[in-house]
Amino acid sequence: MNPRSGIAMQLIDVSKHFGGISAANHVNLSLPYGKVTGLVGPNGAGKTTMFNIMTGHIRPDEGSVLHKGVELLTMSPRAIALRGVARSFQALRLFSHMTVLENVLTVMERSPWSFLSGGSEKRLRLEKAEEILSRVGLAGLRNELAVDISYGEQKFLSLARILAMEADVWLLDEPASGLDLSSYDRFFGILRERVEAGVAICLIEHNLDIVRGISDEIAFLDRGTVLDQGEPERILNDAKLTAIYFGEAV
């Protein structure tokens, strides 16, 4: 993947209401290539909703969602995934009763007719899956069921699945929560490497120290509104925003 510049994904004036609750309120957000954008905000700010809107799981009431300049609003989650928008879930959503290797393999088997493809293609997929598993340190667990490995390992499997998708936009929902320090470094090492290769990453994270460490840019969300987007230091040192974040009266 060549390093790319410019905007990978863009939300323009997106709004979504659930009953009386506004989950997104005229949101403008852009994810540049080669950068990590941290999505920060108090609980219930609508961070995951933003992901769901970008991946087509929730259709906004108004606004526009662009990927490489193409409107995604009418597309199914599948079509959006095939265009190169990969996501992880807070609840991981692994294929729990399949082995670690199968979890990665199946992501690479995009077409329902993959099983008809010949031996060389199959071997290629298998090799690549093995390579990804060694990259994330799960090669030794390839034949374990996803449900049987530890939580930290499941986080890496979730990452392996995203690597297998060869997407140019990664949406990661709390990828680091529950990781110990050493795996945390390993995890973000892989992210950094992909970002340098040009991938646009957007991640939701509660731990502000982590966000500060990994993000190139931060968007601050509260009650469905992007209050500010910019340099991590500037956003995280903004007294008004931190007050909102820690639930203090403003």
Partner 1 sequence: MLLLQLLLDGIQSGAVYALMAVGFAIVFGMTRIFHYSHGATYLIAGYGFYACTSVFGLPWYLSVLAAIVLSAGFGALVQLLVYRPVQRDAGSFFTVFVASFGVGVVVENLLAMMFGSGFLSVTSPLSRAQPIMGLYISQLGMIIVGTAPLIFLALNYFFDRTSVGLALRGLADNPDLVTVYGLSAKSLFLIALVLGSLLVVPAAVFQTITAGLTPSAGHRVMLISLAATIIGGIGSLRGAGLGGLLLGVAESLSFWRLPAGWSDAVTFLILLAFILLRPSGLLGQKVRV
Partner 2 sequence: MVNYFANLVTVTGISMILAISLNLLIGYAGIFSMAHAAFYGVGAYVAALLALHYTAELTLAVPLAMVTCAAASLLISLPALRVRGEYFVAASLGLQVIAFTVFEQWHSVTGGLSGLIGIPVAELFGYSLASPLAFMGVTIALVALVALAVICLLRTAFGRDLRAIRDDETAAAAAGKNVAVIKSIAVAISSALCAVAGVLYAFNIAFVNPESFTLNLSVLVMAMVIIGGAGTITGPIIGAALIQCLPAALSWLPLPPQNIGYLQQILYGLAMVLLMIYRPAGLMGKARSKG
**70 near partner 2 (CB under 8 A):** no
In angstroms, what is the minimal distance from the CB of 71 to partner 1? Answer: 16
CB of 59 or CB of 110, closer to partner 1: 59
| Structural contact between residues 103 and 95, judged by C-beta atoms closer than 8 angstroms | yes
**59 near partner 2 (CB under 8 A):** no
CB of 73 or CB of 89, closer to partner 2: 89
| Among the residue ranges 15-23, 78-86, 225-233, 239-247, the one whose residues contact partner 2 (CB under 8 A) | 78-86
**74 near partner 2 (CB under 8 A):** no
CB of 23 or CB of 104, closer to partner 1: 23
Among 72, 105, 200, 241, binds partner 2 (CB under 8 A): 105
The footprint of partner 2 (CB under 8 A) covers 55, 57, 76-78, 81-82, 86-87, 89, 93-98, 102-103, 105-107, 109-112, 114-115, 117, 122, 147-148, 161, 165
